[in-house]
Copies of this chain bind each other. A is one copy, B any other.
Amino acid sequence: MTRLAASRALTGEAAGVPARRISAADDGALMSTQEFYDWWADRHRSGRFMVERIPFSRLDDWNFEPDTGNLAHASGRFFTIEGLQVRDGGRETWSQPIINQPEIGILGIVVKEFDGVLHCLMQAKMEPGNINTLQLSPTVQATRSNYTQVHRGAGTRYLECFVGPARGQVLVDVLQSEQGAWFWRKRNRNMVVLMTGDVPVHEDYRWLTLAQIRELTQVDNLVNMDARTVLSCLPVELPEDEDASTGDPFRDALIRSYRYRPDDVGAGEVLSWFTEAKTRCDWTARLVPLTKVGGWERTDDEITDGEGRHFRIIAAEVEAGTREVKRWTQPLLFPRGEGRALFVARPIDGVLHLLVQARPEFGLMDMVEMAPTVQLLPGAGVTEIEDLLLRDALADATMRYDAVLSEEGGRFYQALTRYQIAEVGEDFSLDVPANFRWMTVRQLTDLLRHGHYLNIEARSLLACMHSLY
């Protein structure tokens, strides 16, 4: 496996970034990438953060309900840990604990032009589940409980840019799903707003250009999941010169992929393929009391499956000087091992196509969403890739993108996924199983105006794809 795009782990101190990249990404930027890293290190030094695993008995205001065994907050807000029961062909099959968070939160990025260059107001945000404490986050990341202040903390900074009379011009505003394996039908409101007036910059925030952020997506565990999903929904600006060749066949094929939308005949072949994939599902999932979930047990400090193959539910105590609430306790979902999400990409008639999977996930609201070619839950090995041909092809693929990125640190404890974009040659068969489809980047980004199409892993990878552009 050839690895072209080196990924760099970033700890508290600034990591080295190749000079070529600094100069390209810094064009027209308010601050250089080097200045960004200085600020980033400073944010690490100035924060006081502590996350400690605790037994469930030390959770404040969180209790296991007597009837159901569900883990819930006394206010009835935030989220609950409940059971999910799947029935397949009329019989009960899989069951598991699941996070139920019905409230719709806002993940929002404020953008503004400086000297004609679009900048995003990004936040250095601590989340209890982050493996490295701080990650680069959207301007606003607020649950409904946050912004209606159920937990009586300070108000959410910059929220007024997104709601109410002073809000900016809305560029993106769509409900998108989150992990279907761990969340029960969760969606968040992904927003981008363009501001024209003065926007004061708090010390935990900095203006970065899209090019800078895209470059930073190549760094391990830096751009957080919420930033990735919002950025994936922001339409990509295309170079003006339609037919210019960059001299790099991969990049040329990629640029064509951003433009190319096949003739839309009839129902739209992709939409029909997707509808068909949903109708193939003969399962239903529903919430059940956590006590009804078979094969899982609750100890003093975790809920775990008997075989130790899946995730655990744990409890943590958190202290964070920079957050609205200074100290709190909460449950977290703790996966075992690292997940994997990989798009196979190959040129078709000079246009890069991605091999998209129509993937059922029990927690998704509409059962199936479009997913990366390979999507493995943490703990699943490469042998779980069903298609032998696919497994062989990956051994010879050119890795165009390869980094380990974190999933949402507010609900998941150290949930890491290795994201990859693997280019295969024209000998890779175009004839794929019924649950796969070759699509251009443009076809995918067109669908991002709507919810229920691309799952969170596919959106993350699209945001990463932008760094190759």
Contact = CB atoms under 8 A, between A and B. Distances in A.
Given A90-B75, A90-B76, A275-B189, A266 B104 contact: no
A169 to B, nearest CB: 6
Contacts of A169: 266
Main secondary structure of the interface of A (DSSP, over half): mixed
A173 B452 contact: no
A174 B365 contact: no
Interface in A247-304: 266-269, 271-272, 275-276, 278-279, 281-282, 284, 286-287
Contacts of A76: 87, 90-91
A450 interface: yes
Most chain B C-beta atoms within 10 Å of own C-beta, residue among A87, A175, A267: A267
Given A189-B279, A279-B189, A451-B452, A272 B173 contact: yes
A287 B76 CA distance: 18
Given A189-B279, A365-B366, A449 B90 contact: no
Copy count, this protein chain: 2
A266 B171 contact: yes
A102 interface: yes
Given A76-B90, A90-B77, A170-B267, A278 B450 contact: no
A278 B175 contact: yes
Most chain B C-beta atoms within 10 Å of own C-beta, residue among A75, A104, A269: A104
A164 to B, nearest CB: 11
A341 interface: no
The 7 A-B pairs with the shortest beta carbon distances in the complex, nearest first, are A76-B90, A173-B272, A173-B267, A102-B284, A104-B279, A170-B267, A173-B275
